[in-house]
Chains A and B, each alone.
Chain A
């Protein structure tokens, strides 16, 4: 099962990952609607990095969801959000140690990476190869 690896020291904060992700998910460029999001800790610390679901084996997000809105896709083996079931309770957000799932600022529903049917666009566009597949 392929996973995402994030090489945090390489990120430059260009946020092209957010742009291409939102293009696929909502059909326009809209960083707030992306499943990947970049944060910086400046000016206190020189940390800049993307956060997203790395598709871990432990799936604490699924375990934390009280309404079973995070489900396993038997075909791909990926854990994805079924938006029609999500109640915006937010229990999954602190459950994920990678900060890989969040409530989208627009519809307040849980959002996380669905691996773009096997070829993640963020991996493809990242100029510094910060986001990679392992």
Chain B
């Protein structure tokens, strides 16, 4: 048994109401590390191809990384892996806080859930023991209330809870799982998969330990990395100073801040939602377990109609997609909306996109007050905006259509709305417009879970760095190299906000486990994992046409700012994609070749 892992998996069969414990497959752990890679391996082996994501047969996996629970900096996140009801593709969704470390302390590296409970239940994991408990009185409750009631019932405030809100119960396809109040497995609808299984929450408490071969040597290594990299590297400075709101101004200056449903990349009221605005309402900073940076901004709105709203956030993606993208310039309104989404259990990124999409439909006359339940759903209308999370979570009026995600909503609404539904594989775009940072078009297109900025944040070296953001040369290499590196990072699991390189990933994993894992081996592991998630998607029927470029990004030039006049031309996009597939050793349809899979030690069965 290697150190750092606790070596056990909790299996839960909700249909039969049974739990069991089995050893973690250490051969797989050596090949896929943990987190994303190891979770993807279990999903690949156990998911029956092309089933409905809401079928009881869908597999829901919560996986930690080997470093969770140790002093290794920024390693608290756990990942939820499943087949996404939002995209139909592979889904990995990460959440910080304290839940993942507590799971390790409770004696499990992972939980694998299947089946469907006959009535609402929650799972209680206490020091190696698991129990399926009645959740009848919790059904219908929001996430904060659920967390409070479970802690009360179990009589221990140190219990960590991951739960769904009403949206997950109502199978809203982008429902999140909330843990530690403000931390979400946000994207892709893992919360709806929980809802489909009648699983309201998972509560965990542990007093066991996580071991490493030489604990003093390991702590010294962590202290060295914290002092000389985490807190010293200029790449992490923004996290420490302001957290994610620091990026708002950078994006606006680069002309890539999504505004008015991606109709512009510049927001005239940017000063009302930027880092300086956040500082005015900041109460204190909050970190996840083992993170010395503390990106979390606990804010309190002190005056105006939303006075008294306290939340950890809002973060960049919420400020942009639910702020500038909806032309909402009131920070108090965004904070209140953010809290509503957290409690109802919906992803603020997708919800912001959907509201902006619906606002454009409304302004173009494609939908009317008859559809919106009487709301005057124009851009910037705070009253209408504030009612939308509830309409969506409870599937009322237009909310029922939007609850399916923008891709399905646009098909249903029709009348040309498909042309401004901005997504890849059904997952709505994040807050960086590729028209002013062309590599992001490729990053969103090739991301395994649909349009995601966390699989290759190439905008950092492009629009915010030294590379020309309007040319395609070298971008396929930039994106594929970053994807491999992030695949390792997401498997270790190290938080995306710590710009860790291969050398420190190698030192941490080797010292924690007693294995000797070189930088070169980590690069190979990254590529292996990226090919594995691709295999899952190919098996689910995704090919080249699904690695797509939204019509708005291809056809509507940005009207102002640094990227004024630019689109991502289809021929440029296809050129990058060709180059990318070639670099990856995939065929023209984006399928990994037999030779590539053999080289990576992956089974060739599709």
The range of chain A's interface size is: 20 to 34
Report the separation of the CA atoms of residues A20 and B290 in the bound assembly, to the nearest whole angstrom: 10
Report the separation of the CA atoms of residues A31 and B370 in the bound assembly, to the nearest whole angstrom: 55
CB distance from A4 to the nearest CB of B (A): 20
> Which residues of B, 252-305, contact A by the 8 Å Cβ criterion?
283-292, 294, 298, 300
Given contacts A22-B209, A33-B207, contact A43 B310 (CB under 8 A): yes
In this assembly, does B332 line the interface, its C-beta being within 8 Å of a C-beta of chain A? no
List the A side residues contacting B223 at CB < 8 Å. 124-125
Q: Which of A9, A26, A43, A125 contacts B209 (CB 8 A)?
A: A26
- The main secondary structure of chain B at its interface with chain A is loop
**Contact between B105 and A9, CB atoms less than 8 A apart:** no
In this assembly, does B386 line the interface, its C-beta being within 8 Å of a C-beta of chain A? no
When each residue 19-51 of chain A gets 1 if its CB lies under 8 Å from chain B and 0 otherwise, what string results?
Answer: 110110011111111000001001100101000
**Contact between B294 and A14, CB atoms less than 8 A apart:** yes
CB distance from B344 to the nearest CB of A (A): 15
In this assembly, does B128 line the interface, its C-beta being within 8 Å of a C-beta of chain A? no
CB distance from A76 to the nearest CB of B (A): 22
Q: Which of A16, A27, A32 contacts B105 (CB 8 A)?
A: A32
Report the separation of the CA atoms of residues A39 and B98 in the bound assembly, to the nearest whole angstrom: 12
List the A side residues contacting B377 at CB < 8 Å. none
In this assembly, does A77 line the interface, its C-beta being within 8 Å of a C-beta of chain B? no
Report the separation of the CA atoms of residues A127 and B288 in the bound assembly, to the nearest whole angstrom: 13
Report the separation of the CA atoms of residues A9 and B157 in the bound assembly, to the nearest whole angstrom: 22
> Which of A19, A29, A33 gathers most chain B CB within 10 Å?
A29
**Contact between A28 and B210, CB atoms less than 8 A apart:** yes
List the B side residues contacting A99 at CB < 8 Å. none
The range of chain B's interface size is: 35 or more
In this assembly, does B181 line the interface, its C-beta being within 8 Å of a C-beta of chain A? yes
List the B side residues contacting A9 at CB < 8 Å. 284
**Contact between B287 and A14, CB atoms less than 8 A apart:** yes
**Contact between A29 and B310, CB atoms less than 8 A apart:** no
Across the interface, name the chain A residue whose C-beta is closest to B71: A19
In this assembly, does B206 line the interface, its C-beta being within 8 Å of a C-beta of chain A? yes
Q: Which of B105, B182, B219, B288 contacts A30 (CB 8 A)?
A: B105
List the B side residues contacting A42 at CB < 8 Å. 181-182, 298, 312
When each residue 170-207 of chain B gets 1 if its CB lies under 8 Å from chain A and 0 otherwise, what string results?
Answer: 00000000000110000000000000000000000011
**Contact between B290 and A30, CB atoms less than 8 A apart:** no
> Which residues of B, 218-264, contact A by the 8 Å Cβ criterion?
219, 223, 226, 231
**Contact between B71 and A125, CB atoms less than 8 A apart:** yes
**Contact between A16 and B215, CB atoms less than 8 A apart:** no
In this assembly, does A59 line the interface, its C-beta being within 8 Å of a C-beta of chain B? no
CB distance from B207 to the nearest CB of A (A): 4
Report the separation of the CA atoms of residues A19 and B157 in the bound assembly, to the nearest whole angstrom: 19
A-B contact pairs, 8 of them (CB 8 A): A20-B219, A29-B212, A42-B181, A42-B312, A48-B286, A105-B158, A127-B226, A127-B231
Q: A23-B219, A33-B209, A46-B310 are in contact. List 4 more A-B contacts (CB 8 A).
A: A28-B210, A29-B71, A29-B210, A127-B231
Give chain A's interface residues, CB within 8 Å of chain B.
9, 12-16, 19-20, 22-23, 26-33, 39, 42-43, 46, 48, 105-106, 124-125, 127-128
